[in-house]
C-alpha cells in the first residue's frame, strides 16, 4: 500500500500548492474508519481507497477529488456520516463522497425499467459534479485489476457490467486509455480462452517478424527529422480485446489482421500535425477510407487528433495518430482535463471541454422520454463512435456510427425528419436506410404531406429520431384509437344495461386521473385501459367480481372426472351458448348452440348434455380462427400482429392463403378469453385502414 507521504509526493509532482495537511488528515481518517476491514484478497481494505487515489493522480486531479477517493467508501461501509465528513473536510468533499456512495448502490445491470431509472440517477449525479464519475471509474478500474480474489460468478457479473457500462462511459468521456484497460480486464474474465489465444498468436508473430514497433518508430522519426519536424513518436501493439473485436467485426482470422500496431506522433504545433501527415503519406501508401480529421472536426468530448492508416514495412498496415501536446493531454484525460493541474494551478488547456456543456449534449431530451426510450437513447448516444456529415450549406452534423439520412434529418429539426421522403448523399439519390460515412454531404428531400412510417423505427439509430417517430405515430393513431375506444365503451356499457354518455366518460376520466374523456377513449382503444376498468370506476356494484376461471374446468354441468374438448368445427368461446355431445372414448365435445354439425345428432337426444360456461374472467386460452384480407405493403403485417397483441390476444399460428400484388389473404389462429374479447378484437381490426376484410372462421368440415 502507498503510504501517505508517497501519495502526497505524487500530488506535489503536478500541484506544488496542494494542501498536504488536508490529504494527510483524510488518509489517517480513512485508515481509522476502515480499521479491521479486509478485502476478499485478505489485504487491509484501506489499500483500495489509496489505490483509487493514486489512479486519479495520474490524471493530475485536484485535492478535492483525491481526498474523495480516500474517503469514498466511508459513508457506505463505516460509521462515518455526511455530517462528519462535512465538518472535517468541507461540504464540497462531503457531497462528492455522498455522490460516489449513491452511485455504488445503483444497479446498472438488471431489469430494463430499473436499469433505465438508475441510468437517469447516474446522469443526474454526473450533471451535479462530474468528478463523482471520475472517482467511480477509478474505483472500478482498481476493482477490475484485483478481481481475481472474488467468487467466479461475481467476477463474471462485474466484468459484464464493466464491459457494458463503465468501459463505454470512460470512452465517451474521452479517457480512451481507461476504456481499453477496462475492456481488456473484463475480456480476461468473460472469455479467457480467446484472450490467451490472441496473446499466443501475437507472441508467435513477434518471433517471426522481430521488434516491428521499434523498427517502424525509427522509420517515422527519420522521415520527420528530414523535414525538420520536432515530434515525439511512440508505438505499441493494440490490446487483446481490441484485436478480438476487430476480428469479430471484420470476420477475419488473426493471420489476416494487419493493423494490430498503433503509432502516435506528438508535435509542437497544429501546423506540424498536417506537415507530419504529409510526410507519412508521402513515405507510405495511405489506406483508402481510413483517414479521419478530428482536429478540424473535434469530438464532443474535446478529442482532437488526425487518424490515418498506412501500409508500412512489408506491407503491414499500421494506424498513426497525430496531435499536439495539448491535444494529447485532453486525449489522455478526456473531460477530466477540465480539473487537471500543473504547477499548482488548473491547466489552461484550450481543448478541454466544459463538463456542463458535455453533460448537456449527452442528456439533451432525455427528460421527454419514457424508461425504455431513455435507456435506448443513452446506449446509442453514449456507446457508439461518431460520424460527421455536412448540410448543403456546409454545417456539420454529428451522428453516431450507423446513422441514416433519416437520423440526419431529425438531427437538424423534428419537422424536417417528419416530412422526409428522400435523400441525396454527395449529390446522388440514395435509399433512406443508407448508412452515412464521415465527410459526406447530405441533402434531405421533404414533402408537406409526408408522415413518419412505422418501418423507420427499424432504420434509425439515434434516440432523438426514434422518440420523434414514436410520438408522431402515437398522434396519428390517436383519432383511430378514440373511435375504437368509443365503440368498445358502448358495448361494455350496454352489457350492464347502461348508456355511455360524455358526462359518464368525463367522470370516469377524472376518477382515473386522466385528462378528459378523449384521453380515456384513446387509452381504451389502445388497450392501455379496459372498458371493464371504466365500469368499475363508475359502477363498482355492476363490475365483474368473479375470480379468474380455472382453464381446466371452465364449464358447468359436467361430472368432475368427465373429459371434454371444444369442437374444431365451431370453436365455441366463453359467453356463447353451448351444448355437449357425448362420444364413446372421447368424453364430451362442446359445440356452440348454432353449430350446423348438431343437426347430425337430432335423432340421438340421449347424447346431448346441457352445459354452460362458468361466469367470470376466463384466461386467453381459447383458440379461434380469423380470416384476414390486408393491404400488401411494407410493415402492414407487423402492425396487424402488433394490434392483435395490443388487444391482449396471442397469435398461435398464421398461414398465408393467397398472395396478390395489392393484398394478402391469411388465416390467423388467435387465443381469446371470451365472446366479448372476440368482438373487441374484430372491432379493432375492422377499424384498421390496412384491413380490407376480417371475419371469424367456422368450418363444419372439421368434425370431432
Active site (annotated) includes residue 407: no
Placement of cell 438488471 in the chain: 110
Is 619 within 8 Å of 673 (Cβ atoms)? yes
The gap between the terminal CA atoms of the chain, to the nearest Å, is 81
Question: Among the three residues 317, 346, 375, which one is the final residue of a domain in this structure?
Answer: 346
Task: Show the cell assigned to 313.
Answer: 514495412
Phi (first) and psi of residue 15, to 5 degrees: -140, 80
- 273: exposed, middle or buried (Cβ count in 10 Å: 0-12, 13-18, 19+): buried
pLDDT confidence of residue 109: 52
Q: Sign of the CA dihedral 668, 670, 675, 676?
A: negative
Catalytic residue among 25, 58, 62, 76: 76
Q: Residue 506 CA to chain centroid, in angstroms? A: 38
Positive or negative torsion for Cα 662, 666, 670, 674: positive
Helix (H) or strand (E) holding 675: helix 675-686
Tell me whether residue 79 is exposed, middle or buried, using C-beta atoms within 10 angstroms of its C-beta: 0 to 12, 13 to 18, 19 or more: exposed
CATH number at residue 119: 1.10.3210.10
User: Pairing relation of β-strands 578-583 and 587-592?
Assistant: antiparallel
Q: Is residue 447 part of a domain?
A: no
Res. 578 pLDDT band, cuts 50 70 90: very high
Residue pair 8/53 in contact (Cβ under 8 Å)? The answer is no
- The alpha-helical segments, DSSP class H, found in 530-635 are 531-538
Residue 299 confidence (pLDDT): 79
Q: Determine the Cα–Cα distance for residues 7 and 438; give it in Å rounded to an integer.
A: 44
Examine the pLDDT at 112 and tell me if it is beyond 50.
no
634-651 pLDDT, tens digit each: 788 888 888 888 788 889
| Residue 165: exposure state from Cβ atoms within 10 A (0-12, 13-18, ≥19) | buried
Rounded CA Rg of the chain? 34
563 lies in the same domain as 525? no
User: Where does a domain end: 190, 213, 229?
Assistant: 190
Do 112 and 131 fall within a single domain?
yes
Total domains present in the chain? 5
Asked whether residue 491 is assigned to any structural domain, the reply reads yes
Residue 267 to residue 685: CA distance in whole angstroms: 67
Q: How far apart are CA 52 and CA 71, in angstroms?
A: 10
Distance, CA of 236 to CA of 52 (rounded, Å):
26
In a domain, 579, yes or no: yes
Closest CA to 198 of 232, 239, 231, 167: 239
Determine how many CB atoms are found less than 10 A away from the CB of residue 323: 25
Place of cell 467485426: 249
Torsion over CA: 128, 131, 133, 139 (sign): negative
Report d(CA 389, CA 273) in Å as an integer.
Answer: 23
Specify the pLDDT at position 262. Answer: 84
Tens of pLDDT, residue by residue over 221-279, are: 999 999 999 999 998 888 888 888 777 665 555 555 556 788 999 999 999 999 999 99
| Biggest CA pair distance of the chain | 111
Cell numbers for 181: 484497460
Residue 97 has pLDDT above 70, yes or no: yes
CATH number, domain containing residue 293: 3.30.460.10
- 503 shares its domain with 599: no
Is residue 213 domain-shared with residue 274, that is, in the same domain? Answer: yes
pLDDT at 630 over 60: yes
Distance CA 121, CA 103 (A): 8
Residue 468: count other Cβ atoms within 10 Å of its Cβ.
24
C-alpha cell at 98: 455522498
Strands 578-583 and 608-610 turn out to be antiparallel
Check which CATH number belongs to the domain holding 644 and give it.
3.30.70.260
**Residue 398 domain flag:** no
Domain boundary among 132, 162, 190: 190
| The pLDDT of residue 671 | 92
For residues 456-473, give the mean pLDDT. Answer: 84
The residue ranking higher by pLDDT, 39 or 352, is 39
Q: In terms of domains, do 68 and 139 share one?
A: yes
Residues 521 and 631 in one domain: no
Per-residue pLDDT reduced to its tens digit, 347-395: 677 777 766 666 666 555 544 445 455 555 555 455 455 677 888 887 7
Instruction: Return the C-alpha cell found at 424.
Output: 441525396
If asked whether residues 155 and 256 sit together in one domain, one would say: no
Residue numbers of the domain that contains 278: 201-346
Beta-bridged to residue 440, according to DSSP, are: none
Q: What is the predicted pLDDT for the residue at 279? A: 93
**Is 606 inside any structural domain?**
yes
Among 25, 58, 77, 319, the active-site one is 77
3-class secondary-structure state, position 697: strand
- Residue 113 — very low, low, confident or very high, per pLDDT cuts 50/70/90? very low
Residues 144 and 216 occupy one common structural domain: no
**Segment 313-337, tens digit of pLDDT:** 666 778 899 999 989 988 887 777 7
Q: Is residue 158 part of a domain?
A: yes
The residue among 289, 301, 319 whose CA lies nearest residue 440 is 289
What share of the chain has pLDDT > 90, as a percent? 27
Same domain assignment for residues 115 and 260:
no
Under a CB-based contact definition with an 8 Å cutoff, are residues 263 and 309 in contact?
Answer: no
| Per-residue confidence (pLDDT) for residue 573, from 0 to 100 | 93
**One-character DSSP codes across 66-99:** HHHHHHTTHHHHSS--HHHHHHHH-HHHHHHHHH
SS3 content of the chain, % helix, strand, coil (to 5): 50, 20, 30
DSSP 134-172: HHHHHHHHHHHHTGGGS-HHHHHHHHHHIIIIIHHHHHH
Exposed, middle or buried: residue 47 (CB in 10 Å: 0-12, 13-18, 19+)? Answer: middle
Pairing of strands 261-267, 317-324: parallel
E strand or H helix at 582, and its extent?
A: strand 578-583
Q: Do both 36 and 171 map to the same domain?
A: yes
- Tell me if residue 651 falls in helix, strand or coil: strand
Sign of the C-alpha dihedral, residues 191, 194, 200, 203?
A: negative
Q: How far is CA 327 from CA 253, 347, 350, 566, in A?
A: 35, 13, 9, 75
Poorest-pLDDT segment among 42-46, 315-319, 414-418: 315-319
In a domain, 56, yes or no: yes
Is the distance from CB of 578 to CB of 509 less than 8 angstroms?
Answer: no
- Structure confidence at residue 539 (pLDDT): 73
Res 25: pLDDT: 94
Does residue 77 have an active-site annotation?
Answer: yes
d(CA 605, CA 368): 66
The pLDDT of residue 52 is: 95
Instruction: Please tell me what DSSP assigns to residue 229.
Output: -
Same domain, 128 and 14: yes
Clarify whether residues 216 and 78 are in a common domain.
no
Whether residue 385 lies inside any domain: the answer is: no
Q: Cell digits for 443?
A: 441533402
Amino acid at each position: 500500500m502507498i503510504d501517505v507521504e508517497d501519495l502526497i509526493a505524487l500530488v506535489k509532482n503536478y500541484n506544488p500548492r496542494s494542501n498536504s495537511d488536508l490529504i494527510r488528515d483524510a488518509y489517517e481518517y480513512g485508515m481509522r474508519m476502515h480499521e479491521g476491514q479486509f478485502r476478499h484478497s485478505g489485504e487491509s481494505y484501506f489499500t483500495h481507497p489509496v489505490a483509487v487515489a493514486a489512479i486519479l493522480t495520474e490524471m493530475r486531479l485536484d485535492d478535492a477529488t483525491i481526498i474523495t477517493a480516500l474517503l469514498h467508501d466511508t459513508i457506505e461501509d463505516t460509521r462515518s456520516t455526511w455530517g462528519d465528513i462535512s465538518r472535517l473536510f468541507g461540504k464540497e468533499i462531503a457531497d462528492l463522497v455522498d455522490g460516489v456512495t449513491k452511485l455504488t448502490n445503483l444497479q446498472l445491470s438488471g431489469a430494463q425499467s430499473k436499469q433505465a431509472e438508475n441510468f437517469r440517477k447516474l446522469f443526474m449525479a454526473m450533471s451535479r459534479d462530474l468528478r463523482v464519475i471520475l472517482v467511480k471509474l477509478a474505483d472500478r478500474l482498481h476493482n477490475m485489476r484485483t478481481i481475481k480474489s472474488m467468487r467466479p460468478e461475481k467476477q463474471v457479473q462485474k466484468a459484464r457490467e464493466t464491459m457494458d457500462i463503465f468501459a463505454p462511459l470512460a470512452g465517451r468521456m474521452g479517457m480512451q486509455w481507461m476504456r481499453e484497460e477496462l475492456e481488456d480486464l473484463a475480456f480476461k474474465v468473460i472469455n479467457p480462452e480467446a484472450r490467451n489465444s490472441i496473446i499466443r498468436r501475437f507472441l508467435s508473430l513477434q518471433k517471426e517478424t522481430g521488434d516491428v514497433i521499434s523498427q517502424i518508430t525509427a522509420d517515422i522519426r527519420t522521415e520527420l527529422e528530414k523535414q525538420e519536424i520536432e515530434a515525439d513518436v511512440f508505438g505499441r501493439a493494440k490490446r487483446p480485446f481490441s484485436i478480438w473485436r476487430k476480428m469479430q467485426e471484420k470476420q477475419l482470422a488473426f493471420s489476416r489482421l494487419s493493423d494490430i500496431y498503433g503509432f502516435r506522433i506528438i508535435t509542437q504545433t497544429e501546423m506540424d500535425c498536417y506537415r507530419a501527415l504529409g510526410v507519412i503519406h508521402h513515405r507510405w501508401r495511405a489506406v483508402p477510407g481510413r483517414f479521419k480529421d478530428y482536429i478540424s472536426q473535434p469530438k464532443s468530448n474535446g478529442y482532437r487528433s488526425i487518424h490515418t492508416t498506412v501500409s508500412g514495412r512489408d506491407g503491414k498496415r499500421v494506424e498513426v495518430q497525430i496531435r499536439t501536446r495539448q491535444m494529447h493531454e485532453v486525449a489522455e484525460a478526456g473531460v477530466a482535463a477540465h480539473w487537471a493541474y500543473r504547477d499548482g494551478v488548473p491547466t489552461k488547456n484550450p481543448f478541454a471541454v466544459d463538463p456542463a456543456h458535455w453533460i448537456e449534449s449527452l442528456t439533451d431530451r432525455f427528460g421527454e422520454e419514457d424508461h425504455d426510450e431513455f435507456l435506448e437513447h443513452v446506449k446509442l448516444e453514449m456507446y457508439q463512435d461518431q460520424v460527421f456529415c455536412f448540410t448543403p450549406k456546409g454545417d456539420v452534423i454529428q451522428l453516431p456510427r450507423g446513422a441514416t439520412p433519416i437520423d440526419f434529418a431529425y438531427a437538424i429539426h423534428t419537422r424536417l425528419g417528419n416530412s422526409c421522403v428522400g435523400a441525396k448523399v454527395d449529390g446522388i439519390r440514395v435509399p433512406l436506410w443508407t448508412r452515412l460515412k464521415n465527410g459526406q454531404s447530405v441533402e434531405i428531400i421533404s414533402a408537406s404531406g409526408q408522415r413518419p412510417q412505422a418501418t423507420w423505427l427499424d432504420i434509425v439509430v439515434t434516440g432523438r429520431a426514434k422518440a420523434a417517430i414514436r410520438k408522431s405515430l402515437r398522434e396519428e393513431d390517436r383519432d383511430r384509437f378514440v373511435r375504437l375506444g368509443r365503440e368498445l365503451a358502448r358495448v361494455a356499457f350496454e352489457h350492464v344495461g347502461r348508456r355511455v354518455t360524455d358526462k359518464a366518460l368525463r367522470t370516469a376520466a377524472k376518477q382515473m386521473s386522466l385528462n378528459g374523456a378523449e384521453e380515456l377513449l384513446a387509452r381504451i382503444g389502445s388497450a392501455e385501459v379496459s372498458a371493464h376498468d371504466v365500469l368499475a370506476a363508475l359502477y363498482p356494484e355492476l363490475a365483474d367480481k368473479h375470480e379468474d376461471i380455472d382453464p381446466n374446468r371452465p364449464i358447468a354441468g359436467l361430472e368432475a372426472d368427465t373429459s371434454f374438448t371444444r369442437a374444431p368445427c365451431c370453436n365455441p368461446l366463453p359467453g356463447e351458448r353451448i351444448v355437449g355431445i357425448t362420444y364413446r372414448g372421447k368424453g364430451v365435445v362442446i359445440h356452440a348452440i348454432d353449430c350446423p354439425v348438431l343437426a347430425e345428432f337430432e335423432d340421438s337426444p340421449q347424447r346431448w348434455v346441457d352445459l354452460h360456461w362458468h361466469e367470470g374472467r376466463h384466461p386467453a386460452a381459447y383458440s379461434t380462427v380469423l380470416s384476414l384480407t390486408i393491404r400488401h405493403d411494407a410493415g402492414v403485417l407487423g402492425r396487424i400482429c402488433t394490434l392483435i397483441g395490443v388487444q391482449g390476444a396471442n397469435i398461435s399460428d398464421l398461414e398465408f392463403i393467397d398472395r396478390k400484388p395489392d393484398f394478402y389473404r391469411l388465416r390467423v389462429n388467435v387465443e381469446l378469453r371470451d365472446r366479448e374479447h372476440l368482438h373487441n378484437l374484430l372491432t379493432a381490426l375492422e377499424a384498421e385502414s390496412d384491413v380490407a376484410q376480417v371475419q371469424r372462421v367456422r368450418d363444419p368440415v372439421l368434425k370431432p
